[in-house]
Every structure is written in structure tokens, then in C-alpha cells.
Structure 1
Amino acid sequence: MFLKFRADADDGDRSPWGSFWFSPVPFKGQPHNVTGDAAMRLTAVYACVRVLAEAVSMLPFVLYREGADGSKKPEKAHWLYRLLAVRPNEFQNPMEFREMMMMHLALRGNAFAEIISNTAGIVTDLVPIHPDTITIEMLSKTNWRYIEHLSDGTERIIVRGSMWHIKVMSPDGIVGMNPIQASRESIASGLSAQEYGLRYFENDATPGGWIEYPGEFKDDQQKRNFRESWQTQQSGRNRRKTAVLERGMKYHPIEVKNSDAQYLETRKFSVSEIARLFRIPPHMIGDLEKATFSNIEQQSLEFVIHTLTPWLVRWEEAIRASFIEVGEGLNCEFPTTTLLRGDAQARSMYYHNGILDGWMTRNEARLMENMNPLDGLDEPMRPLNMVEEDEAETQQNAPQIAPKPGKPANPQPEQENDDGPTQARMYALAAAAADRVARKEWEALHAAVMRKESISEFYDKHARFVSAVLGVSDDAARDYCRAQLEYVIENRDDITDKQFADIAGMRLQRLALRGHHEPLTAHI
């Protein structure tokens, strides 16, 4: 069924003969007249715009200078940081400014702010201007200027360089597409259903009725007189009073069921349509009909990734294009880390893995939890079982060989008499270095065997590695490798990986501690 939108569809007549109950669509206005302000009468539109505006406005603004190695140095003393993170103008704080600009973007597809600069050319204020008061005058195919229509009827010209313009999905690269106008039929349908429900309940949810008269009225004037008399007696303060009918008249109430008109289904579909228009998960605007405990968290993540991130990138690119010179080394962003942190358990695991893997310091984790940094927690931690990239060449493509059965040797290194903290730390470092070299030696030895390389040739090369890593003399490293060569040749048929690690680790630890030549076959 095609619905016709008419501004004069309702003449105010609530009688059975009036147009109130029988007008096709009670929405007062044409679809092309649906404006952003009118659309905000729908709670779904209001909720979607509020979600977007508040999400963008509450995120921190970060301005930093990029180093050649990719490092980021915060620039909080820069005028651009003060402009967007401290005070954009004299009458708005950063959240109010961004919230207003984001509302303009969501409802009209364009957001304007006049750029005010001082005599030194530094921008001091960004003054937002309502998009409905702005028109664009083309000067050429690639140049234009803005005209602001003031409330007193005058006009003010603003050159292109003095206007900060953020736009959405521009078909011509100059003016952004208005999302409300692009979907005006869907929004008009929702407004119509909302107004219908309001008027229905204003009339006590009773559509009225009709009167059966077995006779005939003398003329139309007599019929009108009777109708006006009936409405006077049964409307206003006289509503619900007992009616007295004469001449065999009968009153028949009209019953209109909302289920027959699919009123509730229309309202639900309208909410779904508007959520799809703004790409907002339904549960974020109060529609929990299809939400479950398991999918709400995933939808919230999708909102940040697929809905909020494109808006933030649009803001960031507009800032770079208007306020940051090419080659200046500055960059900006609105980090969404706080929105993706999850619950306390998820954050705890995130920090735990970052600190242990070495890509996050303990003070960085404390700052993310709004705690002050502590002395001594600024250095990243490095797992002792990891190796540097330049030391991993001989480990690449090393096959994993299953250990062979055998009796564990379980040798114990000699104990020192000094139990002081310095000596204890030296023992710990030596043990860690020995374990690392022993593991690398075992894997590299297997790789050499798979390449059909001589074991003696392998240990000739391995001596240089031992000398470099442990910081011992070449002679001490060669003695160690000779002892290991003899041990491997003697036990090559039944040696296990644990036996090898124990023997090599004990010898390497003693070698690292003493750093000089001594018989290495002792205590075996």
C-alpha cells in the first residue's frame, strides 16, 4: 500500500465522520522535510546520536612527535594539544565541543568550526557553527568559500582556510552526505508510527464509533446539527457520560486493534532500521530483544572496531589536513585502548602477558590503571629462555628429536662458601647463561647431525660462540668443547636431552663463574 503524506491530513474532527481515524498516515509533513531536529524526536535516533557523540567526546586526544625508530614522544606543550584537549574556545570544554561537532556530523553529515588565529598565526580558538546556517559557494572546480547566514538576515563570508570542515561520505569531495535525508523515508515512517500511537492514547485508546439511524434526516443541515450536538455532549468534560438516543438510534463503537495494524511490529522495525542506519548494536540503544549474554560483549567490540574507529579516523585525518604540516613530524590519535580493556580479569591477563613478554613495563601498566609510577619499574623484563635475533641463525629449522631413554646423571655444581647477595646474583646470572648456551648447543648439535656435518667440526665452530656469550678465553671455550665432544662420542647411543643439559649446564656454569682454564671433567 502506498502512503500519501499530507500536511493537512488531520482537520481536528474526532467524530466517526472526521479524518482523524481514517487519514492514511498521521505524520504531519513530507518525507523530504524530515530534518535532523525532527528525527531527534524518535528515541532510537536520539539514542544512536548520543552513543556516537559521547563515545567520540570522552576519548583522550593524544598529540605526539614520531621518532625515526617509530617512538612516540608526547607533545602536551603544543598549541594543537591545548586546542583539542584543554580548551577549544572560550565557552566550551573539549567534551562539549567534540560532542556538538559529532552531533552535527551524525545528523547532517557536515561539521563546521571557524578557525581563529592570533597575530603569530597560531590557532587559539575553534568556534563551532551550525551546519544549517552554512552554504558553500564554488569559486572554481577545486576552490570554494563558506557563507554563514546570521540570525539578523545578514551574511558573512569565511574563506576556506579559516574554516575547519569535517564531512561524511562526500559524493563530490566538498559537501558531506546527510544521513537523515538519505534515509528520510524510514525515519518518516518511524515518526508517523510514533505520532499515531500518541494520538491514539490521547483519545483514551478509543477510536470512537458510529450511530445507526433507521430514518432519514430532512437535509444535510439537520445532519450537521445533530453531529455537532452529539460531539458537544460526548467530548471534553462530557466524555464518558451517558448518552440518550431517540428515534431508534443505536451507537456502534469502532474497534481498531493495533495488532491488526501491526503497530508494535512497525515500531520494532523502525528501531532496527535506525540502528542499521547509524551502525549501532541494538543493545546499546536499549533493544535487547535479540541480545544474549554471549553476543553482547562481541557486539560491543564490533562497535569499537567497525563503528567508532571510522569516525575517529575521519577526525584524525581532518586534524592532520588542517593543522599539521607535512614533514613536521607530529601525529595525533584518539586511542580506544580503554574501551577494549574488558573486565578486571581480562586486563590483569593483558598486563601479565605484556610484562612477562617484555613489550610492556610495569610502570606502563600502572599508568593504564591510573596509578602513579614507582622507581625501578621502567625497564622491560626479558624472559631468560629467549635469545637475540642474531644468535638464532643456527637454531632455525632445527628438528625436534625425541629424547632417548637413559639414566639421568643429575650432576650438581660445586657450591661456593660466600652466601652474600652479590655472590648469589652472580650464581643466578651464570646459571641462566649456562642454561641458555646448553639448550642452544643441544638444538644446534641435532641440526648439524641432520645436515650430516661432523660433530668435531661442529664443536670447532661452537667454541667461538661459547667464548663470545660467556666472555671467557678461547682456550677455555675450546677445552669445554673438547670435553663435550668426548662425552657425546662416548654416550651417543643412549644420551638423553636431560642428561646432556645437566652435563653441559654444570660445565658451562663453572666456566662462566671462573672464566679461566681448569679440568672440566671433574665432578662427573
Structure 2
Amino acid sequence: MGFGLSFRRRPEPEAVEARAEVVMASGEAEIAEVLTGGVPEGVSMKEALSLPGVWAAINFLSAAMAGLPVEVFEKTAGDGGDKKITGGVADVLGAAVNDTTTSFTWRETFFAEVFGPGRAYTYVERNRQGKVINLFPMEYQRTTVRKVNGRLFYDYREPSGKVKTYAGADVIDIAFLLKADHVNHHNPVQTCASAIRQGLNANRYALTVFGKNGVPPYVLKGPFAAGKEMMRAAADLMKVTMRFAREGKPVLPLPAGHDLERLGDDPDKMQLTPVQIFAVGQVARIYQLPPVFLQELSKGNYNNIEHQDLHLVKHTLRRWVKKFEQELTLKIFGRTSRRYVKLNLDAMMRGDFKTRIEAIVKAIQNGLMTPNEGRALENRAPLDGGDVLLVQGATVPIELAGKAFAKTAPAADPASDGAATPDDGAPEDQTDN
């Protein structure tokens, strides 16, 4: 920024002291405007995305939801478990939602709008038989939701200006948080605009401090006899400062009797870095994310990061997974269908190779899964004889343990209680007379 001497006109000699005071007041007002933002508390989506914490949160969550495998199952009456469905709608959900959009891309942009403006919509296209053949994203800004006789309708304005209306049963609709009327929703960015604005203001102030070669605004004081002399001294000092900054010289000489005073607050005293870290924590609270997933590692270590992984799945992703599963099941199959959609969270909990394999081995040895089911988790082909549940032979019910011991244990030594045996010369069939 250079030296912040903002003289607007040449002062008269007798007004030098008064003008110097005006400059100081003006400079403090500018700093106050920077700290308060100079704008209302509201924040636009574009501004919010310029804050690294918000950008990281939306990118992380949308990519995490897009990367989960989508599977379709059908409920069965037998004990063999639900039947996994392949082809048809399973390929639409898991591979490509239409001819030009992959499932990953659709879900990534879908949830970017859920975590950004707070809501996302997708039109479900069916053939004459009522089967789903395509999913088409609907832009958030072009969609309006209304309720008629208790049923939702979605008005979508196309780029041509034509408005199409879709019934609620044909639109996949996920909101960050619905309002009580189940029509409108809470926008996380607008709802928490004050916290986001605080982070934006901290970044903005840091830019004013460290811009222009890191030279903050100062006020030059000295024995000036006239305004012209003061203006010339300020211009000379600014030139010298900029040259020293370019040349990397850390020492700036000042003439005798002159002094520099910082205009505004000291970044060290304002704790600028802790304020920015706190802003990341605020964003983490908005999206219920452990700070480590926003690359805030000041309090992260090998022990608590693993627990933050568990927190992510249990308290953050699980909520969105369940909401997405139920919405897809309802809008694609209806209320009475035996088919349902499931997102597989196993990939998020895989951990390192050693821990993962040990868990699979324990599950197989204790009859929780078959060897082929364990191989499937590692994307390996099934083997003959691998569909049988196994259990370790040494593990038996407690009530059978004594019986097995009685059949296999040797006879007790009678010497301890003085009982007679055939070896002692007593007949085997001897009885009391």
C-alpha cells in the first residue's frame, strides 16, 4: 500500500496541524471500514466461496458423497438376505444418469448446491412403462417450489424463458434444512453470514496489511513549516520505501526529528492468525465437519485424527447418506416398492490394509461372513466352496464344554479319597453287605 498519506489538496501553511489531524481521522475510518466489511452482514455465494474454509467444506462433502458406491436391492422373504439388483436403474444411479453425465459428476454438483445455496433438484425421466431411464439436473436459480393442496410442484424456467412444471414425485429434492412449511429452506451461507463475513474481513484486512510489499499505512511526523514541504517529504519517503522493499533492504533511514506511526491497529495485537483459524472453526461448525478435513491441523495428531474419521462418518456423512437413500428410494421406486437404494459406506471405513484384513479374517472366523463375502469387499472373484459360514472349532457353547470334557478326561486318581480299585485287589463288582 505504501505510506498511506491521503492528502487531497495543497494546504495553506497555517492549516498544516489541522490538516494532519484530518488525515489521521480519515485513515482510522478506512481501517474501521475494512474490519466491519463496509457492507451489510449478508454475503453472496461468490463471496462465501472465496473464503478457503467454505470452499474446502463444500468441495470435501460433495466429493465424499459422490464417491460412495450406489447399489439397488430388493427385499426378499427368505433368509438369504436381500437380492442385489444389477442393470437398468442400478446403472443409471451408479454409472451414468444420462447420456452426457456420469453418476459421480451428477452427485458432486448436486451436493455442491445442497451445501452451497442449500438445495438441489433433479428431474426423473421415465419411459412409457414407468421405468427410470434418465436423471436431469435442474439449476437451483431456475427452480421455484410451490405447494398446491398439500402437494409439491416445481416450476423450472428454461434458458429460452419457457416454464415447465413437474410434479413432486418426479423431482429428487434434497435441502440442507427445510423450514416448517416444507416448501422453503434454510440457506447455510445466508443463515451463518456473520461468521463467514468475519473470516472474509480477516482475509481482507490481511490483504491491506501485506499488500504492496507488506508496507502498512503510516503517518509521517516532523518539523514541517509548510504543507508543500510536508508533501515533498512524504513523496520522497514513499519512493525510498518502495525501492528498499524491491531491493530487500530491511533498514529504512529517517531524517533527524522525523518519526513514523502506524495508522490503525497492529496485526500482532489483533491476533490476525488466530482470527483466521477461528474462522475455519466457524465454517467447520456450520457443516458439522472436524477441522482436520478443512486442512486445519493446528490441533491435529495421529491419535485424534482417527477419531475424527469416525466422527465424520457417524455424525456427518451418515445423516446425508440416509437422507439421500430415502429420497432416491421414494422418487425412483415409490412408497410401496420392495426395492430400495443403498449407499455403501464400507469404502469410507476401509482404513489401512493391515487393519482391514484383520477385520475381515475375524468376521470369517466367527461366522459373520463367508470367505467369498470377504473377498468381495476387496474386489476379488469368488472361489468354489467359499459361500459356507465358518467358525473356529475350539469355540463351543459353555453348556457343551463340560460334556465334552467328561467324555475325554481320564479317570480320577482314587488314592486321594482312599477308594478301592481293581488294582488294589478289591473285586470290581464288590457291594456293601
TM-score range, shorter chain: 0.7 to 0.9
Unaligned runs of 5+ in 2: 7-22, 246-251, 412-427, 429-433
CA contact (8 A) 1:234 1:241 kept: no
Q: Are 2:166 and 1:164 equivalent residues in the alignment?
A: no
Structure 1 position 30, deviation (Å): 2.2
CA contact (8 A) 2:3 2:217 kept: no
**Corresponding residue number in structure 2 for 1:333:** 342
Q: Deviation per CA, 1:5-46, whole angstroms, max 9, x where unpaired?
A: xxxxxxx994353554453526363222x1333211111111
The CA distance in 2 between the partners of 1:86 and 1:304, in whole Å, is 24
**Corresponding residue number in structure 2 for 1:474:** none
Q: How many percent identity over aligned positions?
A: 22
Q: Deviation per CA, 1:119-164, whole angstroms, max 9, x where unpaired?
A: 4333322121221232223434x23432334456x25132224422
State the one-letter code of the partner of 1:501. T
State the one-letter code of the partner of 1:264. T
Choose from 112, 118, 121 the match for 2:127: 118
Q: Are 2:197 and 1:188 equivalent residues in the alignment?
A: yes
CA contact (8 A) 2:126 2:134 kept: yes
Choose from 235, 238, 242 the match for 1:239: 242
Structure 1 position 358, deviation (Å): 1.7
Choose from 213, 216, 221 the match for 1:212: 221
The CA distance in 2 between the partners of 1:155 and 1:249, in whole Å, is 74
**Corresponding residue number in structure 2 for 1:453:** none
The CA distance in 1 between the partners of 2:220 and 2:288, in whole Å, is 51
Q: Are 2:325 and 1:322 equivalent residues in the alignment?
A: no
CA contact (8 A) 1:147 1:155 kept: no
Q: Are 2:361 and 1:358 equivalent residues in the alignment?
A: no
The CA distance in 2 between the partners of 1:200 and 1:288, in whole Å, is 25
Q: Are 2:183 and 1:174 equivalent residues in the alignment?
A: yes
User: Measured at CA, do residues 100 and 230 of structure 1 come closer, stay the same or move farther in structure 2, by a change above 3 Å?
Assistant: farther
CA contact (8 A) 2:220 2:234 kept: no
**Corresponding residue number in structure 1 for 2:5:** 15
State the one-letter code of the partner of 1:76. T
State the one-letter code of the partner of 2:37. F
- Indicate the SS of the match to 1:203: helix
Q: Deviation per CA, 1:209-238, whole angstroms, max 9, x where unpaired?
A: 223365675xxxx77x975x7776666899
The CA distance in 2 between the partners of 1:252 and 1:209, in whole Å, is 6
Structure 1 position 188, deviation (Å): 0.5
Q: Are 2:81 and 1:74 equivalent residues in the alignment?
A: no
Structure 1 position 54, deviation (Å): 1.3
- Indicate the SS of the match to 1:289: coil
**Corresponding residue number in structure 2 for 1:469:** none
- Indicate the SS of the match to 1:25: helix
**Corresponding residue number in structure 2 for 1:514:** none
User: Measured at CA, do residues 89 and 210 of structure 1 come closer, stay the same or move farther in structure 2, by a change above 3 Å?
Assistant: same
Choose from 252, 264, 289 the match for 2:298: 289
Matches within 5 A, 1:115-514: 115-140=124-149, 142-151=150-159, 154-161=161-168, 162-172=170-180, 173-212=182-221, 214=223, 239-240=242-243, 250=258, 252-254=260-262, 256-384=265-393, 439=400, 442=402, 498=405, 500-502=407-409
Structure 1 position 107, deviation (Å): 1.1
State the one-letter code of the partner of 2:70. F
User: Measured at CA, do residues 317 and 14 of structure 1 come closer, stay the same or move farther in structure 2, by a change above 3 Å?
Assistant: farther
The CA distance in 1 between the partners of 2:176 and 2:254, in whole Å, is 64
Count of aligned residue pairs for this structure pair: 382
User: Measured at CA, do residues 80 and 25 of structure 1 come closer, stay the same or move farther in structure 2, by a change above 3 Å?
Assistant: same
Q: Deviation per CA, 1:301-343, whole angstroms, max 9, x where unpaired?
A: 1111111000000101111221113332111210111222322
**RMSD (CA atoms):** 3.5
Moved more, 189-198 or 249-258: 249-258
State the one-letter code of the partner of 1:163. V
The CA distance in 2 between the partners of 1:138 and 1:159, in whole Å, is 12
Structure 1 position 105, deviation (Å): 0.7
CA contact (8 A) 1:26 1:195 kept: no
Normalised by the length of structure 1, the TM-score is: 0.65
**Corresponding residue number in structure 1 for 2:9:** none
Moved more, 357-366 or 128-137: 128-137
User: Measured at CA, do residues 234 and 215 of structure 1 come closer, stay the same or move farther in structure 2, by a change above 3 Å?
Assistant: closer
The CA distance in 2 between the partners of 1:344 and 1:335, in whole Å, is 19
CA contact (8 A) 1:147 1:158 kept: yes
User: Measured at CA, do residues 337 and 351 of structure 1 come closer, stay the same or move farther in structure 2, by a change above 3 Å?
Assistant: same
Higher relative contact order (CA 8 A, sep 6+): 2
Q: Are 2:40 and 1:30 equivalent residues in the alignment?
A: yes
Which structure's CA Rg is the greater one?
1
Q: Are 2:108 and 1:99 equivalent residues in the alignment?
A: yes
State the one-letter code of the partner of 1:321. L
The CA distance in 2 between the partners of 1:201 and 1:233, in whole Å, is 22
User: Measured at CA, do residues 245 and 115 of structure 1 come closer, stay the same or move farther in structure 2, by a change above 3 Å?
Assistant: same
Unaligned runs of 5+ in 1: 1-11, 399-438, 444-496, 505-520
User: Measured at CA, do residues 115 and 235 of structure 1 come closer, stay the same or move farther in structure 2, by a change above 3 Å?
Assistant: farther
State the one-letter code of the partner of 2:388. E
State the one-letter code of the partner of 1:265. P
The CA distance in 1 between the partners of 2:39 and 2:133, in whole Å, is 43
Q: Deviation per CA, 1:451-507, whole angstroms, max 9, x where unpaired?
A: xxxxxxxxxxxxxxxxxxxxxxxxxxxxxxxxxxxxxxxxxxxxxx84553479xxx
The CA distance in 2 between the partners of 1:206 and 1:362, in whole Å, is 67
State the one-letter code of the partner of 2:90. Y
CA contact (8 A) 1:363 1:377 kept: yes
State the one-letter code of the partner of 1:346. T
- Indicate the SS of the match to 1:376: coil
- Indicate the SS of the match to 2:220: strand
CA contact (8 A) 1:14 1:21 kept: no
User: Measured at CA, do residues 240 and 27 of structure 1 come closer, stay the same or move farther in structure 2, by a change above 3 Å?
Assistant: farther
State the one-letter code of the partner of 1:169. L
- Indicate the SS of the match to 1:307: helix
CA contact (8 A) 1:21 1:207 kept: no
**Corresponding residue number in structure 2 for 1:518:** none
**Corresponding residue number in structure 1 for 2:431:** none
